[in-house]
């Protein structure tokens, strides 16, 4: 088993995480990750909480708490808070570029029923 990863937050990062935790416009998962990092801070005045305490507060497993802490130390704040985006979509696209272009052309063109015909007399 590897050594425990310690989280040391600067005052600027701590202030940013507290703002994220109070913000109403962020998702619940992002706020939860910010709260985990705040509780795991070794330099906090009250001291660092144990993983078991953090699990009780946030409602995740110890493994998830450990992974969030490791990701913060490895990737920083920008890598730890948001969820990682998938490289490929979960489903295959229905249209390729050519089919999508044909569909847009068809939708934007006037239909034959609506066209007015002009007769040359």
The model carries a pTM of: 0.67
The per-residue pLDDT for range 8-63, each reduced to its tens digit, is 888 898 899 999 888 888 889 999 999 999 998 888 777 778 888 899 988 999 99
The per-residue pLDDT for range 50-106, each reduced to its tens digit, is 888 899 988 999 999 999 999 999 988 888 888 888 888 788 878 888 999 998 888
* Residue written as token pair 């990737």: 75
Q: What is the DSSP string of 41-110?
A: BTTSTT-PPPHHHHHHHH---HHHHHHHHHHHHHH-HHHHSSPPPPSS-SS--S--HHHHHHHHHHHHSP
């Amino acid at each position: 088993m590897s050594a425990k990863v310690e989280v040391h937050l600067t005052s600027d990062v701590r202030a940013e995480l507290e703002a994220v935790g109070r913000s109403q416009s962020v998702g619940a998962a992002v706020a939860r990750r910010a709260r985990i990092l705040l509780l795991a801070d070794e330099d906090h005045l009250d001291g660092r909480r144990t993983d078991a305490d953090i699990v009780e507060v946030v409602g995740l497993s110890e493994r998830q708490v450990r992974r969030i802490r490791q990701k913060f130390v490895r990737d920083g704040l920008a890598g730890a808070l948001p969820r990682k985006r998938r490289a490929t979509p979960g489903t295959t696209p229905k249209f390729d570029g050519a089919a999508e272009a044909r569909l847009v052309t068809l939708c934007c063109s006037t239909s034959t029923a609506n066209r007015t015909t002009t007769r040359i007399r």
